Amino acid sequence: MKKFMLIDDDEIFVFLTKKTILKVSADVEVQVFADGQQAISHLQCIAGHTNLFPDAIFLDLNMPVMDGWEFLDEYQKLEDFPFNEVPLYIVSSSISPYEMDRSAGIPVVTEFIIKPLVKEKFLEILENL
Amino acid sequence: MINPSPTPDQANTPAILHLLGIIDAEPEEEFDNIVRLACLLTTAQAATLTFINQDRNLCKSATGIDIINLEIADQQLSSYSSIYREPIKFHGNLLLGHLTVAFIQPTDLTTGQMEGLRLLSRQLVNLLQMRLPVVNRSVRDFYESILNNIPTDIVVFDTEHRYLFANPGAIKDEELRKFIIGKDDFEYAVYRKRDPAIAIERRAQFQEVKDTGNTISWEENQKTAEGNTITYLRRMFPVHDGQGRLVMVIGFGIDITERKELENKQHKIMEQLGVQHKQSIDFCNVVSHNLRGPLINLGMLAEFIRESVDPGEQQLLISKMEPVIDNLKSTFNELVESIQVREETDLKMDELNLNACLSETVRSLFDELKKAGGNIHADFSGAPVLYCPQKYLSSIFHNLITNAIHYHSPDRPLSIKLSTQTKKNTVVLTVQDNGQGIDLLKHKHNIFKIGKVFHRRPGAKGLGLFMTKTQVEAIGGTIWVDSEPDHGAIFSIEFVNQSFGAL
């Protein structure tokens, strides 16, 4: 079973994206975090357990408490960074070139996906894993 | 351009004599002495000094003979038996006239006497050359009047930092200007009973120029008697002779106040533009997130509804559309409003009773306040009246109190304290709560930014404080916050131009 972390505060988007993902593959677990802080806490917990590692991370940028950028800062600072093999996709409603440029400069970011996360895109990601 | 001082050549011989002050001048002792020396040296009975004036010789000085007519002195000498004429040559080749000795008896000059005459002739030339500065007096006056009238401070120092020259731009008072020549800044400070700090600073600058041989420049502010600030651009640079030895140091300063003011203005505008640019990027990001987000959700919902065959699921999906549409509507309205605030330039200042305005806000938030167990205490005795557009103050009260309600601590009943203080012609309004507070170490730079949300609260869009700041700044005010996590927050707003009501 594949595990995906979905970090996004927009409940309706989370509901719809989960639905999309499950439509493509039933053999998938979607773990939802409403902000960067909660996601970081989770990642810190599982850092020692490779069997619990997510297969991919989907990260929104605009979130309360700890936004996507702050998350990326903290994420890269994780001790002995164990998540090198985990692809991280920014999934944002932003179409700002500034944010895309900024994300391009961050090595842990695999790709910048503009919302919505459509079936075809998810399928492609799944096949690349 | 100044006309170069005349260079003597054959063509203008008379001109130089005029310029040298020879022609049409009274008899002069220095020339008379040379003529007498020539007589004594050669034991001649008579001697004359004649200068060429156009085509005739003009007698400047004579001894042993009474000159009847200055222009025909040579003719008077023709009755003598022996005559020796020593030419007077300027610059080695320009014949200006003759030194003539005459003997009644036929006489031969010894080589010594001839040599003596030649030396006297050369001495005459020296004498004439000495007069050149006199010729150049008009040129000197010209330069001096430039130095004295140029709107620039000019000073010249010797190699020991003593003043050689100061123009009226540097030292206005003529007495002081005379006093300072040959003295240094320390003596000047003592004389004028001034703090030697400037003298110490100047000495260090002088030393730097002297040691490095480089020009130094700096900007300096000075207060005028009227209290205005004048900015000078000052420079100090060394002047060396042909052998590279330091001859003097020149200092000058020009008033660049106007340029400085423009520079400052430009700097402010650039800063403003920078802030506005940043704001517009933030704004675009928020629009893109807060408007595009719900639109994407609506699109996805529509697609799922179309694809769904289960009426129950369709109903569920439709029910999810309503909050998205509401969210979109309110975000849209808030964004439009914030643009309007920034576009409004001609704001009408209302004279507002703070208590009355607050009461209205509290009435509209009554239910929410009650739910939070809220208690509001207002003391506007420091400034009961505020000059501000009514809708802004209402919005400011509404946003700050709504925030206090939203982020009140679950551990204690909400308490909000409002007060005002008057400072000069400003009024500071403070709104203090005992809620969750904000971690300013982390969020200091984002607190008033559009789209920034610091607590987990559904529906928070990060527009409230952005809006408040926009409104405060639209009327020239400032807003700031003091807060610690779990110790509440104090928002302070300074309203400017509040004194006109008291006039």
User: Is residue B8 scored above 60 in pLDDT?
Assistant: no
Question: pLDDT by residue (tens digit) across B304-339?
Answer: 999 989 999 999 999 999 988 988 888 888 778 777
Model confidence at B484, pLDDT cuts 50, 70, 90, reads confident
Domains identified in chain B, total number: 4
CA distance B285 to chain A (A): 6
Using a CB-CB cut-off of 8 Å, the residues of chain A touching B289 are 61-62, 92-94
pLDDT at A4: 95
Task: Identify the bridge partners of residue B431 per DSSP, sorted by sequence position.
Answer: B418, B491
Task: State both tokens at B160.
Answer: 């020991």
Task: Identify the bridge partners of residue B56 per DSSP, sorted by sequence position.
Answer: B53
Question: pLDDT by residue (tens digit) across B57-75?
Answer: 788 888 888 877 777 777 7
Using a CB-CB cut-off of 8 Å, the residues of chain B touching A96 are 281, 284-285, 288
Q: Could you tell me if B388 and B462 lie in one domain?
A: yes
User: Is residue B3 scored above 50 in pLDDT?
Assistant: no
Q: What is the mean pLDDT of residues A20-36?
A: 91
b vs e for A13-30, b when ≥16 Cβ sit within 10 Å of the residue's Cβ?
bbbbbeebbeeeeeebeb
Q: Could you tell me if B305 and B430 lie in one domain?
A: no
* Cβ–Cβ gap B300/A116 under 8 Å: yes
In a domain, B364, yes or no: yes
pLDDT at B397: 92
CA gap B103, B20 in Å, rounded = 30
Domain range for B250 is: 150-255
Q: Which segment of B109-113, B279-283, B384-388 scores lowest on mean pLDDT?
A: B279-283
User: Is residue B172 scored above 70 in pLDDT?
Assistant: yes
Measure CB to CB from residue B456 to each of A19, A64, A96 and give the nearest one. Answer: A64
pLDDT at B489: 92
Percent of chain B with pLDDT over 70: 88
* Cβ–Cβ gap B297/A10 under 8 Å: yes
Last residue of a domain, one of B135, B160, B175: B135
CA gap B82, A69 in Å, rounded = 114
| C-alpha closest to that of B421 among B484, B474, B498, B363 | B498
Question: pLDDT by residue (tens digit) across B343-379?
Answer: 766 678 889 999 999 999 899 888 888 888 888 999 9
In a domain, B141, yes or no: no
Containing B163, the helix (H) or strand (E) segment is: strand B163-166
In a domain, B260, yes or no: no
Q: Could you tell me if B24 and B119 lie in one domain?
A: yes
pLDDT at B298: 93
Task: Identify the bridge partners of residue A7 per DSSP, sorted by sequence position.
Answer: A33, A59
- What amino acid is encoded at B252 in this protein? F
In a domain, B337, yes or no: yes
| C-alpha closest to that of A122 among A50, A30, A37, A45 | A30
Q: Is the distance from CB of B86 to CB of B44 less than 8 angstroms? A: no
Q: Could you tell me if B121 and B105 lie in one domain?
A: yes
Measure CB to CB from residue A65 to each of B296, B301, B454 and give the nearest one. Answer: B454
The residue among A8, A65, A117 with the most chain B CBs within 10 A of its CB, best to mutate, is A65
Domains defined along chain A, listed by start: 2-128 (3.40.50.2300)
pLDDT at B11: 41
* Cβ–Cβ gap A16/B297 under 8 Å: yes
CA gap A110, A72 in Å, rounded = 12
Q: Could you tell me if B122 and B221 lie in one domain?
A: no
φ, ψ dihedrals at B452, nearest 5°: -95, 125
Q: What is the mean pLDDT of residues B241-258?
A: 90
User: Is residue A6 scored above 90 in pLDDT?
Assistant: yes
* Cβ–Cβ gap A13/B300 under 8 Å: yes
CA distance A12 to chain B (A): 7
CA gap B228, B224 in Å, rounded = 5
Q: Does A62 touch chain B (CB under 8 A)?
A: yes
User: Is residue B134 scored above 70 in pLDDT?
Assistant: no
Mean pLDDT of chain B: 84
- What amino acid is encoded at A31 in this protein? Q
CATH number of domain containing B482:
3.30.565.10
Q: Does A15 touch chain B (CB under 8 A)?
A: yes
- Would you give the DSSP letter of residue B441? H
pLDDT at B476: 84
Q: Could you tell me if B112 and B249 lie in one domain?
A: no
**pLDDT greater at residue B382 or residue B58:** B382
Q: Which residue of A has its CA nearest to B459?
A: A10
In sequence order, what are the residues at sequence separation of 6 or more whose Cβ sits closer than 8 angstroms to the Cβ of residue A101?
none
In a domain, B77, yes or no: yes
CATH number of domain containing B214:
3.30.450.20
Model confidence at B77, pLDDT cuts 50, 70, 90, reads confident
